Amino acid sequence: MTSILTNTSAMSALETLRNINTTLSNTQDRVSSGYKVAQAKDNVAYWSISTTMNSDNKALNAASDALGVGAAKVDTAYAAMESAISAVNEIKAKLVTASEKSTDKGQIQLEIGKLQEQLSAIAQGASFSGENWMVSTNTEASVVDGFIREADGTVKVTTATFNVETYALFATIANNVGSGGILSAVMTIQLTSITTQGQIDTFMDTVETAISRMTDSAAALGALQIRVDLQDKYSAKLSDAIEAGVSRLVDADMEEESAKLSAIQTQQQLAIQSLSIANSSSQNLMTLFRQ
Say what the pLDDT of residue 20 is.
80
Q: Are 238 and 272 part of one and the same domain?
A: no
Helices (H) and strands (E) in the chain, counts: 6, 6
Report the C-alpha gap between 91 and 122 in whole angstroms: 15
Q: What pLDDT does residue 282 have?
A: 64
Give yes or no: residues 52 and 157 share one domain: yes
In the chain, the number of structural domains is 2
121 and 150 in contact (C-beta within 8 Å)?
no
What's the average pLDDT block by block, 10 residues per block, for the chain (291 residues)? 64 79 74 76 85 83 80 92 96 93 90 95 91 85 76 74 89 91 94 92 95 94 88 83 86 74 79 74 64 53
pLDDT, position 123:
94
Question: Are residues 276 and 203 located together in one domain of the fold?
Answer: no
Whether 30 is covered by a domain: the verdict is no
Q: Which domain holds residue 147?
A: 37-250
Angle at 71 (CA atoms; ends 153, 180), nearest 5 degrees:
110
Residues 96 and 56 in one domain: yes
